[in-house]
Chain A
Amino acid sequence: MSQENNTPDFVGRSGIRSAREQSIKWLLFGCAALSVAVTTAIVATLLFDAIDFFLEVSPMAFFFGTTWSPTIDQAFGVVPLVAGTLFVTVLSACIAIPVGVASATYLSEYASRKTRSIIKPALEILAGIPTVVYGYFALVYLTPALEWLGLPLSTFNALSASIMIGIMIIPMVSSLSEDAMSAVPDSLRQAGYGMGATKLEVSTGVVIPAAASGIFSSFILALSRAIGETMIVVVAAGMRPRLVPSPFESLEVMTAAMVQLVTTDIAGGSTAYRAMFAIGITLFAITFAMNLASTFVASRYREEYQ
């Protein structure tokens, strides 16, 4: 400030500064680009190996075949795996969606600020537990408990795994739904109460419909998580492909089949090995479509309330 010469101190350093700004910009860009590049590379790898696979096995036989027995019979019908995945996903959704929305409603509409500040982080901790722990828990505690209740379960069964996946994704549903519900303006609640609505009527008839797009996106995100879940199903549901899954029996989902392929043919090179990539790309297509759907729904209904 108190310099003798009269060059103001905001002159003369722009060259250095802008060079630094530029390099920081490129560094940050590099980090952002890295993840895009890696994702693209992964998808490309999946795609190339999948194409190799489809040169050996016709897409018809893959997408419509009803027998999955890659090593013994060279039968590459993916239908039983897709059936297993959808079965487990639907079953876990039956747990996660009602419980998740109910806890979101409780947190957003009923709980005092203090209760919320305790329960919300507690729920989010559930999301941090490694999934293999959930799988182990399902196998060692949940299945015996359900058997004790009288359900005719095999050691590996779809029910325990689905319940566990459901529990695992509850925090996702509840946390995102709660955000959506808290964002509903209070004036709408006031309007409801002013009409003589009860708390339950305001929650279900005003707040949930107004937050529907956010709640729906939370379902999609949670379900894509369920579809991609591997450890819980491998540990608790086993690896028996079934065209018609039963909750009481073991089954095999797409991710479990991939694990099985990679563990049986670690060296690679066989058709069975390449089948893994075909399943992978199918799985990717399913979750990608779901994410697109969620983005579409979220943007379409974004301004439901002002």
Chain B
Amino acid sequence: MSNENMTTPDPNTESGSRVESQTSPRPGSEVVDSDELNRPKTSETVVSSRDLDVFYGDTQALQGIDIEIPKKQVTAMIGPSGCGKSTFLRCINRMNDLIDSCRIEGELKFEAKNVYDSDVDPVALRRRIGMVFQSPNPFPKTIYENVAYGLKIQGKTENMDQKVEDALKSAALWDEVKDRLDESGLDLSGGQQQRLCIARAIAVDPEVILMDEPASALDPVATSQVEDLISDLAEEYTVVIVTHNMQQAARISDKTAVFLTGGELVEFDDTQKVFENPESQRVEDYITGKFG
């Protein structure tokens, strides 16, 4: 577990209890970790949507989504399978453009600009909004090349070695791979591969990192490494994470969005509030496992 959190200035203070939370083992059973709420909550919105509808052909996958995702915090998206979490995530960096049948209506703003305006270049947008996928997908290249890939295509080639090292350090992978940077990324274990993918995403210094169930293909040890990492990442980046694991959402997120079947965003609030005192009965049923 990293100590970096301790030294980070926290405007809402009470950092004492925070340190405790970071250094004590993560309680899986204790659903809400109230100390997480001490991250700055007053921060500005970086991604917001209004009345966002998404269709695949004739079927509607998301209905009228309104959400305001705060900067430099972790926002978790939970909900039953097929409710549209991945779809929403892919709307943010326009990865849905790659799906022919997908149609989007409404507004989705990244820093005050609607990303679906006709003058937006999705390639440039994706350079500022990184993505980590459900199962690790390193390129069949060396570890170094994997991390350097984004830097190269974006022409940020000065000080590349340093940037690669920094990214691998931020992804808590440097110590494990520093002596084997020229080995294939595919030779790493699953958890290492996923951290490599995170390093690849953060190497280009994006503003937002989207993660679609980043730990679902990982064992518990690797999962907790990735979770620790996500908490650290929120120091510098806005993180939006889809997860099926409610404890995980409770542990690592500041805000939680609950989608329910039919593609509605039923509740969106501080994580503690959503888990302890949800407004909607349906959300409560979902969280307590009465409904899936």
Contacts and interface: CB of A to CB of B under 8 A. Distances in A.
B156 to A, nearest CB: 11
Contact of B149 (A187, A205, A210): A205
Contact of B126 (A185, A195, A305): A195
A209 B140 contact: yes
B124 interface: yes
B13 to A, nearest CB: 37
Interface stretch (B17-25, B72-80, B131-139, B268-276): B131-139
Contacts of B95: 190, 193-194
B200 interface: yes
B141 A209 contact: yes
B163 to A, nearest CB: 14
Chain B contact residues, majority secondary structure: helix
Interface centre among A187, A188, A193 (most CB of B within 10 A): A193
A304 to B, nearest CB: 4
A195 to B, nearest CB: 4
Given A196-B123, A196-B154, A196-B204, A191 B133 contact: yes
Contacts of A196: 123-128, 150, 153-154, 204
A194 B135 contact: no
B289 to A, nearest CB: 31
Interface in B127-185: 127-128, 130-131, 133, 135, 137-141, 149-150, 153-154
Nearest to A189: B98
B153 A201 contact: yes
Interface string A183-225: 0010110111111111001000110011000000000000000
A191 B98 CA distance: 12
B204 A191 contact: no
Contacts of B197: 191
A114 to B, nearest CB: 12
Interface residues of A, number: 20
27 contacts: A187-B137, A188-B139, A188-B140, A190-B95, A190-B137, A191-B133, A191-B138, A191-B200, A192-B149, A193-B126, A194-B93, A194-B130, A194-B133, A195-B149, A195-B153, A195-B200, A195-B204, A196-B123, A196-B127, A196-B153, A205-B153, A209-B139, A209-B140, A304-B140, A304-B186, A305-B140, A305-B186
A67 B197 CA distance: 61
A115 interface: no
A270 interface: no
A306 interface: yes
Nearest to B124: A196
B208 to A, nearest CB: 12
Mostly, the A contact residues are helix
A25 to B, nearest CB: 41
Contacts of A190: 95, 98, 133, 137
A184 to B, nearest CB: 9
Contacts of B127: 195-196
Given A190-B137, A195-B130, 7 more contacts: A187-B137, A188-B137, A191-B133, A192-B139, A194-B131, A196-B123, A306-B186
Contacts of B93: 194
B115 interface: no
Given A195-B150, A195-B200, A197-B123, A206 B139 contact: yes
Contacts of A209: 139-141
Nearest to B151: A195
B283 interface: no
A109 to B, nearest CB: 12
B137 A210 contact: no
Interface in A141-179: none
